[in-house]
Structure 1
Amino acid sequence: MPLPNVSRMSRILMIIADIVIALYLVLCMALWIFQRALIYYPQPRSVASALLTLPRSDAQVLVSVREHEGPKALIYFGGNAEDVSRNLPSFSAAFADHALYFLHYRGFGGSSGSPTEEAIQRDALGLFDEVYARHPQVTLVGRSLGSGVAVRLASQRPASHLVLITPYNSLEELAARQFPIFPVRWLLQDRFESWRYAREISVPTLLMAAEQDEVIPRSSTQRLFEHFAPGVAVLRVIPGVGHNSISASADYLRLLREAL
């Protein structure tokens, strides 16, 4: 039997390699274009409450509010697919002596515009300044994606306490774990580098992790914890719960109250 033509086989292999490379580049381009659709999942607002509208020039950003007179306030930043207004009933009962402010990211809960890391951070700064003018003791609480918002804000403004629920070291780290064959370091636009800001925090900080977190590895939370200065932060792990079920634990609000 005659052997295959070597040059013909080489051409076929080169064509296959070119197709694979082209497909890979197309996938990289798609990941770069649609990455924010993979990060943010806007949710409607489901719980009626008083609303604060932040004075933004490029969007209408809404905040669900439970008003309360006095020095203490709590600002809450939610996850990437969270309707933060759902927390109002439980937080209102748990923190009766706090005014409560729950930020609806752009595109979430009736807020206009599109969410990006920098836009959310500007809105967070604006909200803090509004709240701090009325309440001199402001606690920042960030859950999942919102932990990155809260820790960066705490490095820029005089918060009284910081609570990070299911926090991560950086979004880039999580993306690299989820898309290991892609160069996410070069593609990612919103990085949420919590570790970068943790070293600047000096207020009492609680990191709350879920024992069975299927989204954010414990190792990521541990690396973030190690970036805080000694004595600033404590790490607590709630047993038997996952990333989304952590708030159903009786320990959840108990640890929050103790942190404050």
Structure 2
Amino acid sequence: MSSKAYRVALSASGAALGAIAAYWALLAARQGHILFDTRKLPVVALSGDFSTYSHTVPGGMVRGYVYHPHGEAALQDLFVYFAGRGEDVRATAKALHWLPEGFGFAAVNYRGMADSEGHPSEIASVADAVQLANHLRKAFPHARLHVVGRSLGSGVAIQLVAQQKFSSLQLITPYDSMLEVAKKRFPLVPLSLLLRHQFNSLAHCIGVAAKTQVLLAERDDVVLPERSAKLIAAWPTPVSVRTIAGSDHHSIIGFEETWLLLVDFALTAVLAMPEAV
């Protein structure tokens, strides 16, 4: 190789390495917004069956909603829901007509997502979950609280239930750690060094004592089956596992069967442990 060709090759290699480094730096800087998918979505209007919730965070307000169509006095069981990536909980509320009388639903949008402000992160989402749960215990002291986490939100749900006592925990398409899930999407990125929001559910599940159910999609190319299987195998207590026929990672939350199984398991957990939590 001539000296000129060598210099050209060296320059090209340097430019490629620089581009890779710049890409890694962008991922590191924007990883919270990428992980939570904070792109703005169309506003979803809610009915009068919802009351609003909010608390102040750096950069603005976290906003959420509580569904109690038969009035607060009739609320016996309340799903405390933590959404998947890019999910506006107001859109998820369209499926709540499958909940029977006595059941309600409460959720917040993650920081920077939909109508919530602030900067998303693992630490922030868990802190907001704790604050929401504390509020619900005071606002609805006679309601039994059941935590539900979907996909990304399963990592939030597990950390919350590891800290507080709840009547049940249900996980929809959960994973062992976000680091392992992200490796599929970014195979050439040193994620173990760059990823700050690792949601290591495998480590946090050790502290979970609540009765637990896992709902899996029949087809899931986002959270691969081995990621869910590894978490289930490590679970510290017996866990019920069901698969929603015909569903995939994105559609599972819209299936009637999903909601009926959530309700059935919550009631079964209450019968096994009748005292309110």
Normalised TM-score (structure 2): 0.84
**Structure 1 pair 119/230, CA: closer, same or farther in 2 (3 Å)?**
closer
2:263 corresponds to: 257
Taking every aligned residue pair, what percent have the same amino acid on both sides? 27
Question: CA 1:241–1:202 in 2, change beyond 3 Å: closer, same or farther?
Answer: same
What is residue 152 of structure 1 aligned with on the other side?
A: 159
Given that 1:45 and 1:83 are in contact with CA atoms closer than 8 Å, whether structure 2 keeps it comes out as no
Letter in 2 for 1:47: A
Is 2:24 the counterpart of 1:18?
Answer: no
Contact 2:169 2:213 in 1 (8 A): yes
CA distance in 2, matches of 1:26, 1:108: 26
Report the CA distance shift for 1:154/1:92 in structure 2 as closer, same or farther (over 3 A): farther
Partner of 2:189: 182
CA distance in structure 1 between the aligned counterparts of 2:111 and 2:33, rounded to whole angstroms: 13
* 2: CA distance, partners of 1:10 / 1:61: 56
Structure 2 stretches lacking a partner, 5+ long: 267-277
Partner residue of 1:227?
234
Say which of 89, 110, 115 aligns to 1:84: 89
User: What's the secondary structure of 2:87's corresponding residue?
Assistant: coil
Q: Kindly indicate whether the alpha-carbon contact (under 8 Å) linking 1:45 and 1:108 is maintained by their aligned counterparts in 2.
A: no
What SS class does the counterpart of residue 118 from structure 2 fall into? coil
In 2: Cα distance, 1:93 partner to 1:234 partner: 21
Relative to structure 1, the CA distance from residue 123 to residue 248 in structure 2 (aligned partners, 3 Å threshold; closer, same or farther) is closer
How far did 1:8 drift? 4.6
What is the number of equivalent residue pairs in this alignment?
255
Deviations 1:106-160 (A, max 9, x none): 2234222122111111110001111123245210011111111111100001111
Distance 1:258 1:26 in 2: 50
Deviations 1:169-197 (A, max 9, x none): 11111111111111011111211111111
Alignment check: 8 A CA contact 2:57 2:118 kept: no
Distance 1:56 1:9, change over 3 A: closer
| Structure with greater Cα Rg | 1
For structure 1, the residue ranges without an aligned partner over 5 or more in a row are none
TM-fit CA distance, 1:26: 1.5
Give the deviation of 1:250 after TM superposition.
3.5
Q: Is the 8 A contact 2:58 2:118 kept in 1?
A: no
1:220-244 deviation per Cα after TM superposition (whole angstroms, max 9, x unaligned): 111111121142x222122221111
Query: Which residue in the other structure is 2:274 paired with?
Result: none
Corresponding residue number in structure 1 for 2:115: 110
> What's the counterpart of residue 207 of structure 2?
200
How far is 1:57 from its partner? 6.6
Q: For the aligned residues, what is the CA RMSD?
A: 2.1
**Structure-2 residue corresponding to 1:97:** 102
Change (3 A) 1:249 1:194: same
3-state SS of the aligned residue for 1:60? strand
Aligned to 1:172: 179
| Rounded Cα–Cα distance in structure 1 between residues aligned with 2:131 and 2:254 | 31
Q: Determine the C-alpha separation between the residues in 1 that align with 2:63 and 2:42.
A: 12
